[in-house]
Amino acid sequence: MLKKLLFLFVLAVLCLTFIPQLTKPSSTLVTVFKLTENPAVIVKGAQGSALTVNISFGEKEVEELLGQLTKPYPLLFVDSDWASRFPHLAEEIKKRSVPVALLGVQGQSYETDLNLFAEQLSQFEKIFAARPLWFRTADEEFPSSLLQQLQKAEINALGSTVQWKEGKLPKASKGEIISVSYHSGGRPKISDVKRLMESRTYQSVEDLLFRPTVKTKKIPQ
């Protein structure tokens, strides 16, 4: 009887020790969908189409855009300063669980100020209470020093296949990543964005990159 009780006690200890570890989600899977071993910029996937929207300017226009979004939502690249100026829109994005990523400034700025990325990341995390999975510069130029910072932070650099503004819709291509920008230099009409959203079936960036094709953009020296 004593041996049986001892055996049950040991079994219970083993269960309490190892089962939680087996059921606990991997921190790597939770925090990063890492696609490349070395620093690189992803600009195209393996299948389908993904829509991304850069937001660094505007209030009413962005509010109207958010009102038009339907699932599957596009990936929103949000400038931290913009989110600080319009916290009610940042809250709306969080409330609706629209996927959000960090939008930076011009790539060359990260060569001039090596602390810039860390400051923007910290600001983003305070606003959205989460670390972004993706990062994109405003001009989609990624200096090598910035790529190294992204790699260390376990954040993926995402460019785009097509940078669309307005007018004629881009011809669909396999694995395309389309970007649309709301910035101080100009914003597309909501009617044009609606045409783009209705022109094809979109999927999440993660689904698009399930079997990724990875290419690198120009890295300024």
Q: What is the pLDDT of residue 167?
A: 83
Instruction: Report pLDDT digits (tens) over 57-95.
Output: 999 999 999 999 999 999 999 999 999 999 999 999 999
pLDDT of residue 1: 56
Interaxial angle between packed helices 190-198 and 60-68, expressed in degrees from 0 to 180 and rounded to the nearest 10: 20
Domain positions in the chain are: 28-208
pTM of the model: 0.80
DSSP state of 44: B
Query: What pLDDT sits at residue 12?
Result: 53
Residue linked to tokens 């709306």: 92
Q: What pLDDT score was predicted for residue 211?
A: 58
Local mean pLDDT, 10-residue blocks, the chain (221 residues): 48 45 35 59 93 96 94 96 98 97 98 97 97 97 96 96 91 95 88 93 90 49 45
Tokens representing 217? 């953009």
Contact 143, 149 (CB under 8 A): no
Which superfamily, per CATH, for 28-208?
Glycoside hydrolase/deacetylase (3.20.20.370)
Q: What's the pLDDT at 34?
A: 58
